[in-house]
Structure 1
Amino acid sequence: MKRIEVRELEYFLAVAGTLHFARAAEQLGIEPPPLSRAIAQLERRLGVSLFERTSRRVELTAAGRVFKAEARTTLRSLDRAVRRVRQVGRGALRIATPPGTGSGLLREMVRGYVALFGRDTIELVFATDQTVAVRDGRADIALVCSTEDLTGLDVQNVTTEHPVALVPADHPFATRETLTPACLLRDPAYATELPPLGLDALVDLVATGQLIAVVGDSAVDRLGRHVAAVPVTGLSPTDVLLAWPADSHDPRIASLLELAGQLAIQDPQRVQTTTTRRPRV
């Protein structure tokens, strides 16, 4: 079968979105007859009917509904590829990171990169889902936890964080040397799942007595005098990773990974590196 063209996908999605050939043609800036012929040709090449047509209505068939989802995914992938190709080796290296990242590691990497390549060579993209930002092309690389979905990404372990409970400074827990998950569960303010907020917002909720939360110990350097951090036993440490597209050839990413490795050598207790694969340049 001859390869389907992008234009055909756009024509199909216009009709699938409006379920009206005349309105779809108007959106596309063409006449209805060529659009109808293009859809009919697409159906012949696929060997299935994508639409059920009557004199009164147009509806998607079961095959049409499947093709609609796949066509959307294909066009999104193409758009992402275009963004990535245009960005490779050009402009600022975009790092996706959660709002209010507590780790000094990010500060050290950014400052080190700027020292090597100059100002305006690196950009922070604040996102609550950093891997999505990398996959859709909004960011080139992301600072993520090892617990996230890393499918299709290469990673380098850059540090390990240990769990601490953030509690109000005047809370009885604040005087404890350590806490356990069982102990935390006895307080109704404790949230086993963090709300989708940046660190600064979480700290505000804790300070006002509305929340007790467990985060990585890198958050300690962002706390004010109204919030205490108490180590939590019984929970595993969390690896913090740099993650980037597995098929990347971006020399800027390779430079950042090399810098992260140098930081590890300077402070091996804080920064650990294990690379699965570096970008090919």
Structure 2
Amino acid sequence: MNLRQLRYFVVLAEELNFTRAADRLNISQPPLSQQIAQLEAELGVKLFERSSRRVELTEPGRVFLIDTRTTLDRIKRATIRVRALEQGLAGRIEVGLSSSHFLGPLPRLIFKYSRTHPSVQVTLNEMRPVDQVEALLERRIDVSISRAAIDDRLLCSLPLWHDPAVVALPLGHRLASRQELRIAELSKERFVLLRRDGSPFAKRIFERCAEAGFIPDIAQTVEEVPAQLYLVAAGLGIAIVPQSTRARIPAIVSCKLTDTIVEADVYGVMRRDNEKKALGAFLKEAQQLVGDE
């Protein structure tokens, strides 16, 4: 039994005429008759009653027609699904990210991507940057949305969007009227910092301050950028944060850093052996959609 025989059977059952069925299948009548005979022989069941005037389904034939249509429909749907997977139009993507990305362009990206790829399920998993790397290695997530590029034997990175770091200051701060600042001018300030054990970005800030000749005076350390910003807004200190994050928090002004670079650009980090077509499509769409903003 094969799919061709099942399709021939369904068409003949619908037409109940060998000539019309053969025409519909774009074959001659003898091959159709031969395939139906082979199917009946394999099943050991007579599917049609034939006479010189008419062709009719037997009772087993009517039951077999119901099941065959269901089978062919499932095969059709399965074919559509696997083709969609191969084209990156269907599937599931597990994304690891920290909460700071919800303050930037990511929500707009997810919304637009869900409209253009409705059959791809994108699941967001909030976790610390260091935990995202572990999750990638253990295949619990497909991609890490990260401010640290990683390129080694197992992992690789794709740049997604530019996001320079700025100084976040509370309203009324003595430096709040400045448009630009040198990092050395922050040496007397109290800082609200991310925990360095969980954030490569926080480590880079600490290193840049050390290069400028001072160790940050830490008022508070927190896990996530939103907590930093709300503490800055409350007047507990200042913070160096990605530019995309501070626009959503009131009672804060930001200043550009002019003499140092604190990398805050965003990358998609993934396993080199991840072959999900939907993942590649998602990352390309991320670059394009954010680039269009």
Same fold by TM (over 0.5)? Answer: yes
- Determine the C-alpha separation between the residues in 1 that align with 2:121 and 2:273: 22
Equivalent residue runs for 1:65-84 within 5 Å = none
In the alignment, which residue of structure 2 is the partner of 1:200?
Answer: 226
8 Å CA contact 2:120–2:278 kept in 1: the answer is no
> CA shift at 1:123, angstroms?
1.3
Flag the structure with more relative contact order, 1 or 2, with Cα contacts below 8 A and sequence separation at least 6. Answer: 2
Distance 1:102 1:181, change over 3 A: farther
- Determine the C-alpha separation between the residues in 2 that align with 1:150 and 1:195: 29
In the alignment, which residue of structure 1 is the partner of 2:255?
Answer: 230
Structure 1 counterpart SS, 2:176:
helix
8 Å CA contact 1:167–1:212 kept in 2: the answer is yes
- Determine the C-alpha separation between the residues in 2 that align with 1:210 and 1:150: 37
Distance 1:135 1:179, change over 3 A: same
In the alignment, which residue of structure 2 is the partner of 1:117?
Answer: 117
In the alignment, which residue of structure 2 is the partner of 1:262?
Answer: 288
8 Å CA contact 2:192–2:237 kept in 1: the answer is yes
> CA shift at 1:196, angstroms?
4.9
Q: Aligned AA for 1:257?
A: L
Tell whether 2:127 aligns with 1:127. yes
> CA shift at 1:144, angstroms?
0.9
Tell whether 2:143 aligns with 1:160. no
Q: Aligned AA for 1:92?
A: R
The answer for unaligned runs of 5 or more in structure 2 is: 1-85, 194-204, 207-219
Distance 1:227 1:234, change over 3 A: same
8 Å CA contact 1:101–1:199 kept in 2: the answer is no
The answer for unaligned runs of 5 or more in structure 1 is: 1-87, 268-281
8 Å CA contact 1:102–1:199 kept in 2: the answer is no
> CA shift at 1:102, angstroms?
5.1
1:242 to 268, 274, 277: 268
CA offset digits 1:82-137 (Å, max 9, x no partner): xxxxxx99863111111132553312321122112327711111111232332222
Percent of residue pairs bearing the same amino acid type: 21
Distance 1:266 1:227, change over 3 A: closer
8 Å CA contact 1:102–1:221 kept in 2: the answer is no
1:142 to 126, 141, 144: 144
CA offset digits 1:167-208 (Å, max 9, x no partner): 111211111111111011121336554945222211121112
Larger radius of gyration: 2
> CA shift at 1:145, angstroms?
1.4
Distance 1:150 1:125, change over 3 A: farther
> CA shift at 1:265, angstroms?
5.7
> CA shift at 1:266, angstroms?
3.0
8 Å CA contact 1:94–1:140 kept in 2: the answer is yes
